[in-house]
Amino acid sequence: MCRWAAYIGAPVFIEDVVTRPDHSLIQQSMQATECKTQTNGDGVGLAWYGDRPEPGLYRDLLPAWSDPNLRSLTAQVKSPLFLAHVRASTGTATSRNNCHPFAVGKWSFMHNGQIGGFETFRRHADMLIPDALYGDRKGATDSEVLFLLGLTEGMDDTPKEAMEIAVGILQRMSRDRGVTPHMRLAAAFSDGETLYAIRYASDRRAPTVYHRKSDSRSGRAVVSEPLVQAEEGWDEVPPGSFCTFTQDGVTIEDFRPLL
């Protein structure tokens, strides 16, 4: 399992989420409290938006706690919308191409969870990615396949419906060829204007997702775990939810994969 954090709002230094809070993403890479893998040291990544439609992307194999480039970058870059991820591999290789977030065009995507038995049907899942997008399949993770299937199914126009189709496809494949749990999913993704998040599981153990509005920073953080553990005001996203975060607020809808 992995840990991630995202932000949308007035521009802030990325370090305000990734390194400075007492339970920052770097701290969670060493000592997470709400997932079965306490240490998340199999790589780190950032995707951030600025003046161009496509996100900037930084990914590396170093654990977040020992990556000096990460600390320097987050201390210097300000952004109104960014995604950050620390990885704990669930079976695929520790490589830069397997680090989150993934990016295609204006879209960025990151994931915490698992698709049960994915290695047994990975080839079949890859075959569902059309030629136009297959060149963007750089790594070997189930997360990247989920992202590319979401794009295939119309993420540009209807993000929620596209992900309901994509998640449904992979959950069915796991049910037919894989093992339980068939789907555990906490994902965040963005087109550079809106931040989306999903919390879902095929059983009753959906990975955690929280969000909190900061009036002092005029923005909202969306995270796997609260960045300040003793701080009030963190709202837990209910399981089976699709969240849409904008500069103006949040909308939470039911998320129902097409099975």
Amino acid letter, residue 205 = R
Active site residue 2: yes
In sequence order, what are the beta bridge partners of 130? none
DSSP 3-state of 101: coil
CA 242/CA 24 separation, integer angstroms: 24
Which amino acid is it at 51? D
User: Looking up tokens 């879209």, which residue turns up?
Assistant: 107
Structure tokens at 59: 């990914």
* Among 2, 35, 99, 243, the one annotated catalytic: 2
Give the single-character DSSP code of 234: P
Contact yes or no for 255/240 (Cβ under 8 A) = yes
Structure tokens at 27: 């701290």
| Pair 110, 143: CB distance under 8 Å | yes
b/e string for 46-77 if b means 16 or more Cβ within 10 A? Answer: bbbbbeeeebbebbeeebbbebeebbebbeeb
Q: What is the set of active-site residues?
A: 2
